[in-house]
Amino acid sequence: MAVVVTNECVACSVCVTACPFGAIEMQENKANITDACTACGACVENCPVGAIKREVEVSEVTIDKTQYKDVWVYIEVAEGKPRNVSLELLGEGRKLADAQGQSLAGVLIGENVAELANEVFVYGADSVYLIENTELAHYSTDGYTKAFSDLIESYKPCVILIGATTNGRDLGPRIACRVGTGLTADCTGLGIDEASGLVAWTRPAFGGNIMATILCPEHRPQMGTVRPSVFKRPVPDFARTGEVIRVASTVKAEDIRTKLYGIVQVIGSSCNLEEAEIIVSGGRGLGKVENFCLVEELAEVLGGSVGASRAAVDAGWKPAIHQVGQTGKTVGPRVYFACGISGAIQHLAGMSSSEVVIAVNKDPDAPIFKMADYGIVGDVTEVLPILTGAFKKLKGIA
């Protein structure tokens, strides 16, 4: 928030005009800043006599950062195996750990998950912190937050990477608040800041129009959630082994304020975009909602998932859970079909990690063709039935 140095204010009212939020008013021939101030700084920049200053809040940080070391990756388990994003983050965590001369550890929480430790080692971890408890058999905010927070307090990691899944986006900020540190959410890039040696977390801001790089200089651990499929899964090294550090769980039934009565599968495989090897996405070029069945038919024949552009979602043709792009899901399948999608920069950012891109669009100058490995110029409603029929014939489907 800005403050007015009253004995320097000349009541020129320039700040009143300059404030885009109407947060400044004149009282007794002096400028007065109200609670509507958003600290945008417009008044500071426009005051001709420099009578408005930025109010700087100074907080004393007493943390001993030298006690914190090593990089941790939270290994999220789904249906008895690690999620792809956790394995992807082991690859990036390995790079960060090597750059800082530290070790890489995976964090496994659950019930009967010890056998997954070997897979964590194969993808780059030096050690695994293992917490097993019947109360942790299924994810709960309370149980996993307590287990993870207690682990941090005991072993003090320097960096923690968490996949930006539904559970990861729930767990990450709760842990950060519990241990008193910051968290950079929904990251699409990781690196090391050369000047400070801190982790440089990169994420989209202002609706994806700019990319912000964020540092956490005064608190530990440095934490962030990272979008699935932004990074490639590292090449497994089956000769790798490591140390399993078993940690006794302190979580009790009374610590968990929710009770699980059952699990209902409401989202089928056609919507599991982060894990899909083949994705068929439709966009505004389909013309109308009824034509989306052409995308769904091709995806079904190929055993793939159904995606959609933001335009298709905004039009109500598909739920937001199917959206691919900067404001949707980031994907990295082996094959990505872009059907009737022009290729806005926000959409390209969400599927640029795809190994092979096949585009179908009637506009030969559509931006999607610049990224596509294969392109078909034509009406998507005419091309898709032909492709579906050809794949059916190849697979021997009547």
> Which residues are CB-contacts of 197 (< 8 A; sequence separation ≥ 6)?
100
The pLDDT tens digits for 14-28 are: 999 999 888 899 988
Q: Is 264 contained in some domain?
A: no
- The CATH number assigned to the domain holding 335 equals 3.40.50.1220
Whether residue 382 sits in one domain with residue 338: yes
Annotated binding site: 284, 309-310, 323-327, 340-347, 361
Region 200-228: mean pLDDT is 87
Whether residue 102 sits in one domain with residue 216: yes
> Which residues are CB-contacts of 329 (< 8 A; sequence separation ≥ 6)?
227, 228, 229, 273, 274, 307, 323, 350
pLDDT band at 37 (very low <50, low <70, confident <90, very high): confident
Whether residue 224 sits in one domain with residue 81: yes
Q: Would residue 39 be called left, alpha or beta, if left means φ above 0 and alpha means ψ between -120 and 50 degrees? A: left
Which of 384, 273, 265 is closest to 320 using CA atoms?
A: 273
Whether residue 87 sits in one domain with residue 19: no
Please give the Cα distance from 196 to 147 (Å, whole number): 31
Annotated binding site for FAD: 284, 309-310, 323-327, 340-347, 361
Q: Which two tokens stand for residue 285?
A: 């070029």
- Estimate to the nearest angstrom the gap between the alpha carbon of 72 and the chain centroid: 17
The pLDDT tens digits for 325-365 are: 888 888 889 999 999 999 988 898 888 889 899 999 999 99
Whether residue 79 sits in one domain with residue 202: yes
Q: Is 368 contained in some domain?
A: yes
Whether residue 188 sits in one domain with residue 70: yes
Q: Is 84 contained in some domain?
A: yes
Whether residue 204 sits in one domain with residue 157: yes
How many distinct structural domains can be found in the chain?
A: 3
Segments forming the whole domain that contains residue 325:
269-395
Whether residue 169 sits in one domain with residue 108: yes
Please give the Cα distance from 44 to 54 (Å, whole number): 7
Please give the Cα distance from 105 to 139 (Å, whole number): 21
Q: Which two tokens stand for residue 337?
A: 């079909």
Whether residue 135 sits in one domain with residue 26: no
pLDDT band at 57 (very low <50, low <70, confident <90, very high): low
- The CATH number assigned to the domain holding 85 equals 3.40.50.620
Q: Is 59 contained in some domain?
A: no
